[in-house]
Structure 1
Amino acid sequence: MDNFNSETIYSLPRIGDRAPQFEATTTQGTIKLEDYKGSWLILFSHPADFTPVCTTEFVAFQSIYPQLRELNTELLGLSVDSLPAHFAWVRNIQEKQNIKIEFPIIADLNKDVATKYGMIHPGESSTETNRAVFVIDNKQMIRAIIYYPLTTGRNMDEILRLVKALQTTDEHKVSTPAGWTPGDKVVVPPPTSQQLAEERVADKDLEVVDWYFAKKELVGTKE
């Protein structure tokens, strides 16, 4: 049985924290988190190589990789499998499904990166990483975290939407409503004074639901 320190495992990074630094062996050589400075990064973990749900996810991640790169966003996978296992699995995917996995995969045998990012939840499995997704921005800050159970594959459309929403927020200083996709109206910050609230209600360029809730069209969001 693995001897884990539960306090270490559950000292999870949170949204708004600086992403924990690491140096790791991957299918594309040694990689450090700082190598990604200046670009966004999706760091995601999967339970194990040569498993059906994980295989569908890797094919799906590869399918959105070109779109992510257009958004200045890279992909980096991780599991506690060995480098030879990663190589064999990637080759199997290419042989059986004619899909070449172009992004690197961390071989985290010592569970160093998985522990730093809280990717192992003993209540579900003490030997496998769960399906975690960390969105890290170009300043190496954690902007979003999603966990999925071992049994449930991830939705790539939502991951793309999330990156686009976060980048839109940064560029235009707005928020995005439920179900937002590029081209939809965005939510403007609430007024900070009575005068601004009154001005907002009279603003013809806004769709004002009430003084605290207004939306507007945004030009130039990335499809």
Structure 2
Amino acid sequence: MVNLGDIFPDFDAETTIGNFKFHDYIKDSWTILFSHPADYTPVCTTELSRVAELEPEFKKRHVKLCALSCDDVESHHGWIKDIEAYGAPHTITYPIISDKTRKLAVKLGMVDPDEKDVAGMPLTARAVFIIGPDKKLKLSILYPATTGRNFDEILRVIDSLQLTANHKVATPVDWKCGDKCMVVPSVKVEDEKHIFPKGVETINVPSGKCYLRKTPQPT
């Protein structure tokens, strides 16, 4: 299991765009690795099609994409034809890793104990790993095999991670890019004007503590 802040493990990957070491693929980019239980499954097909549709949005954020499924590369290539034909057609350009032995699924802690394939093998859960340019794990989400992901939410999370990595802010509940942010507690009141020239709004609360501070999103 990889914890937040850990260097994400490097591994040899057999993929639909050729073999590579994972760290060589991601280089110094933000990267999303998302896993799938198996090829030719309905929920996975909808997800991979949606990722292909959103790929320009990920590119705007300098984010590389990489999928993983527990079948071989030959099966992946056949499945890709279905994915590209589903809904509004989109070309799959990102790699899909083969993990037919479940070795990576076990190593990364993403096996779903409640869902098994026809051979009785446990299926890989729907994991999302977001890895920073420093190769450290910045965020992980683990869905059961039966629940599809919301990739609009994953884009929102990327916006938050990239913003808060460079500015002394946090993003509040339901935040979207362009909304006001929260000033992190480590910023002293006397430093607010220097750090946040757009101004800071302090929200009054019954405790009298001045910890709820909002500022326009830094750019």
Structure 2-normalised TM-score? 0.86
8 Å CA contact retained: 1:77, 1:105: yes
Q: Please list every run of 5 or more consecutive structure 2 residues that lacks an aligned counterpart in the other structure.
A: 204-208
Match of 1:189 in 2: 184
Residues 73, 16 of structure 1: alpha-carbon distance in 2 compared, 3 angstrom cutoff: same
Match of 2:77?
87
Corresponding residue of 2:37 = 47
Number of the residue aligned with 1:217: 216
The match for 2:199 among 202, 205, 213 is: 205
Partner of 1:120: 111
Equivalent position SS for 2:74 = helix
TM-score (norm 1): 0.85
Which stretch shifts more, 207-216 or 155-164? 207-216
| CA distance in structure 1 between the partners assigned to 2:45 and 2:85 by the alignment | 13
**Which position in structure 2 is the counterpart of 1:7?**
none
Q: Deviations over 1:51-106 (max 9, x none)?
A: 11111001111111111111110110001111111000002233455332111000
Structure-to-structure mapping, 1:117-196, within 5 angstroms: 117-125=108-116, 126-191=121-186, 196=188
State the partner residue of 1:109: 100
Name the stretch that deviates more: 77-86 or 124-133. Answer: 124-133
Residue 27 of structure 1 contacts residue 86 of structure 1 at CA under 8 Å; is this kept in 2?
yes
3-state SS of the aligned residue for 1:103? Answer: coil
- Equivalent residue number for residue 15 of structure 1: 4
CA distance in 1, matches of 2:70, 2:17: 16
Identify the match of residue 47 of structure 2 among 46, 57, 60: 57
SS at the partner of 1:128? strand
Measured after TM superposition, the shift of residue 19 of structure 1 is 0.5
Deviates more, 1:108-117 or 1:54-63: 108-117
User: Which runs of structure 1 show a deviation greater than 4 angstroms over 4 or more consecutive aligned residues?
Assistant: 197-200
When the two chains are superposed, the root-mean-square deviation of aligned CA atoms in Å is 2.1
- Three-state SS of the structure 2 residue aligned to 1:153 is coil
Residue in 1 aligned with 2:57?
67
**Is the partner of 2:113 in helix, strand or coil?**
coil
> Alpha-carbon deviation of 1:191?
4.6
Aligned-residue offset at 1:121? 2.9
Hey, what's the Cα distance between the residues in 1 that align with 2:98 and 2:186? 49
Q: 2:22 aligns with which of 33, 46, 55?
A: 33
CA distance in 2, matches of 1:96, 1:183: 32
Aligned partners of 2:28 and 2:18: how far apart in 1? 20
* Distance apart, 1:199 and its partner CA: 7.6
Partner of 2:97, secondary structure, is strand
What is the rounded CA distance, in whole Å, between the counterparts of 1:24 and 1:112 in structure 2? 11
- Deviation sequence 1:156-209 (CA, Å, 0-9, x none): 1100000010000011131111111111111111157xxx45886xx9921101
Percent of matched pairs sharing the same residue: 42
- Counterparts of 2:42 and 2:66 in 1: how far apart (Å)? 19
Could you tell me which runs of 5 or more consecutive residues in structure 1 were left unpaired when the two chains were aligned. 1-11
CA contact (8 A) 2:52 2:92 kept: yes
Letter in 1 for 2:155: L
